[in-house]
Structure 1
Amino acid sequence: MKQDVFITCAVTGAGDGPKKNPNVPVTPEQIAADVVAVAEAGAAIAHIHVRDTVTTEGSRDTALYAEVMERVRDAGTDIIINFTAGMGGDLEVGTEDPKQFGAATDLVSQAERVVHIDALRPDVCTLDCGTYNMADGNVIYVSTPDQIREGARMIRGFGVKPELEVFDLGHLGLVLRLIDEGAFEGPAMVQFCLGVGSGAPATPGALKAMSDALGGRDVVWSAFGVGRMQLPMVAQAALLGGNVRVGLEDNIWLSKGVPATNVDLVNRARTIVESMGGRVQSVQATRDELGLGGRQ
């Protein structure tokens, strides 16, 4: 077990959570307030999407990201800011003509996916490391090997640390090749995303297989499960030597029928880690472990 475990809180995501749980933040003010609150509860990293303030749908608007960052920093918190760079990968294959894409398609170039990263230079941004079926139906998330290599090159050029989002063992295989090729400044930061679409399931066996596959490389890893498997995966990740992620992006319930808040979920994660004999790692210790240096 990892003795000092950092907690990431994914505060809002891009899904339909606000329609099911009013605690899911939507506006930049609400998102920033939750980031500050989870920092006070013990989260070292905030993983941040932004949303259209009218429709509540996920957005790639740089101005919204800028407002969130400004509000968080104005509040004086040193939490590590991790912006998503995964928006713009959705493709809905046509039912009758596969080349006639459906209304759910939001597919842009890798360069367009990181416009806000270049503009704002957060501490960390995500790099989704593979294509997968998002759910039943015709929608897939597109991230090809060439796109991943291009994203790694651009993000490194920005001076931002990529969090390598891995949804299955096949994705991890490419990540390991890129690590061995020297694509990332060490240590590599890997996030195992379990129970998402047709990716790896949120089970102890799947997580152990993925963590074992790292093979002693210079990697700092974390993991999360979606829905009801969020908190069980906290315990499993800590036991296997990793770090943990919780938050309303991945799970909107504290228990059956009880809407969660981001602070609730961070508190639960903290309780799990500490009850197993671990300690929740501070922001500065997490910066040191990831090689981030001082605040951006």
Structure 2
Amino acid sequence: MNRNVIITCALTGAGDTVGRSEHVPVTPEQIAEAGISAARAGAAIVHVHVRDPETGKGSREVALYREVVERVRDSGVDVVINTTAGMGGDLMLDPQEPTRFVEGTDLVNGVERLVHVAEVQPDICTLDCGSLNFGEGSLVYVSTPDILRDGAKRIQELGVRVEMEIFDTGHLWFAQQLVEEGLIDAPAMFQLCMDIPYGAPADPALLMAMVNRLPAGSVWTSFALGRMQMPWVAQSVLLGGHVRVGLEDNLYLSRGVKATNAQLVERARTIVEAMGASVATPDDAREILRLRSRS
């Protein structure tokens, strides 16, 4: 069991959730305020996506990331900033003519996915460690070994800690390869992402099997979607990991009750402390993850 638990809050994501809850932040100001509130509620890390303020759809626009990060840093609230680097991997196929890319495709190389990371210099950024049939329809998330090696090298050059996002067991296999090749600085940081169609299901036995395959000395977090979000807080802590909650992964506090990010962090904090563990501060998280100093 983990006795000092980092809570990460994933503030908004890029999914089609804006119309499903009035609490999903869209503008840079809203996303930053959600991060500040989550930090005050007990999140040591905030995970940042940005959205087009006009459409609400996920965006790779550097200026939007810059505004969010500057607002959070200028607030005086201490929190570790983790930005996505997963945008730019969407391949939307015509199922009748699969050699034809259709609307919704947004494909760029591994280094271009990191332009905003180079600009805003977060503490952490993600690396999605494999391709995936992403839900129903014809969307494939593309993250090949060559793309991943290029991205890992660039993140290492930038001096940013990489969080390897693992959506299925083969992703974990390749992430271990990156560690062995010296492309991931110690401690290797894993995010075990469960219940995302069609990746690894939210099965406690599967989570345990994945944890048992992690390299020695790793730091890991896990989350699950929807109603499994809070049970997965307890599951992760019991197996020695850290936790992630937030509106990217779940919109509800309880049946029919829509949540804010801060409320989800507060609920996670209650669970962690009721289990006899403590909630890590941002400084604790920096020490655990050996993050560089921003001074």
TM-score by shorter chain over 0.5: yes
Q: 1:194 aligned to 2:194?
A: yes
SS at structure 1 position matched to 2:94: coil
Local SS of the residue matching 2:185: coil
For 1:194 and 1:280, how far apart are their aligned partners in 2?
A: 22
CA distance in 2, matches of 1:37, 1:289: 23
User: What displacement does 1:119 show?
Assistant: 1.3
State the SS of the aligned residue for 2:76. Answer: coil
Is 1:136 paired with 2:136?
yes
2:85/2:127 contact within 8 Å kept: yes
Q: Deviation per CA, 1:87-144: give whole Å up to 9, x if none.
A: 0111112222111112121111112211101111111110000001111111110000
Amino acid at match of 1:228: R
C-alpha RMSD of the superposition: 1.0
Matched residue, 1:224: 223
- In structure 2, the partner of 1:276 is 275
Q: Secondary structure at the match of 2:219?
A: strand
Structure 1 moving runs of 4+ over 3 Å: none
TM-score (norm 1): 0.98
Does residue 262 in structure 1 map to residue 261 in structure 2?
yes
Structure 1 regions of 5+ residues with no counterpart?
none
**Which residue number in structure 2 is paired with residue 26 of structure 1?**
26
Residue 78 of structure 1 and its aligned partner are, at CA, apart by 2.1
State whether structure 2 residue 250 is matched by structure 1 residue 251: yes
Aligned residue for 1:111?
A: 111
The answer to whether the 8 Å contact 2:123/2:292 transfers is no
Shift of the alpha carbon at 1:22?
0.4
Partners of 1:116 and 1:264 in 2: how far apart? 29
Contact 1:48 1:82 in 2 (8 A): yes
Q: State the partner residue of 2:68.
A: 68
1:129-178 CA-to-partner distances (Å, cap 9, x unmatched) read 00011111111100001111111000000111111000111100111122
Aligned to 1:80: 80
Of 117-126 and 2-11, the range deviating more from structure 2 = 117-126
Aligned length: 295
CA distance in 1, matches of 2:226, 2:43: 19
CA distance in 2, matches of 1:18, 1:80: 25
Mapping 1:122-133, distance limit 5 Å: 122-133=122-133
Task: Tell me the SS of whatever aligns to 1:109.
Answer: coil
- Where 2:111 maps in the other structure, the secondary structure is helix
The one-letter code sitting in structure 2 at the alignment partner of 1:124 is I
Measured after TM superposition, the shift of residue 205 of structure 1 is 1.2
SS at match of 1:12: coil
Separation (CA, whole Å) in 2 of partners of 1:144 and 1:102: 20
**In terms of mean alpha carbon deviation, does 176-185 or 252-261 score higher?**
176-185
Question: 1:233 & 1:246 partners in 2: Cα distance?
Answer: 9
Q: Distance in 2 between matches of 1:81 and 1:19?
A: 26
Cα distance between partner residues in 2 of 1:168 and 1:179: 17
Partner of 1:39: 39
Task: Report what 2:184 is aligned to.
Answer: 184
Q: Secondary structure at the match of 1:127?
A: strand
- Name the aligned partner's letter for residue 168 of structure 2: D
Contact 2:27 / 2:53 at 8 angstroms: preserved in 1?
A: yes
TM-score normalized with structure 2 length: 0.98
Counterpart CA distance in 1 for 2:119 and 2:38 is: 25
Q: Who is 1:242 aligned against? A: 241
Distance 1:130 1:7 in 2: 25
Residues 1:295 and 2:294 aligned together: yes
Question: 1:242-287 CA deviation, whole Å, 9 max, x = no partner?
Answer: 0000000000111121111101100111011111111101100110
Aligned to 1:12: 12
* Distance in 1, Cα, partners of 2:130 & 2:219: 19
Counterpart-to-counterpart distance in 2, 1:43 and 1:201: 25
Alpha-carbon distance between aligned partners in 2 of 1:206 and 1:255, rounded to the nearest angstrom? 26
Letter aligned with residue 167 of structure 2: F
Contact 1:78-1:295 at 8 Å conserved across structures: no
The secondary structure found in structure 1 opposite 2:69 is helix
Following superposition, the deviation at residue 294 of structure 1 comes to 2.1
Task: Tell me the percent identity.
Answer: 54
- Counterpart amino acid of residue 224 in structure 1: F
Q: Distance in 1 between matches of 2:55 and 2:201?
A: 31
The answer for unaligned runs of 5 or more in structure 2 is none
> 1:83 and 1:42 mapped to 2: Cα distance?
18
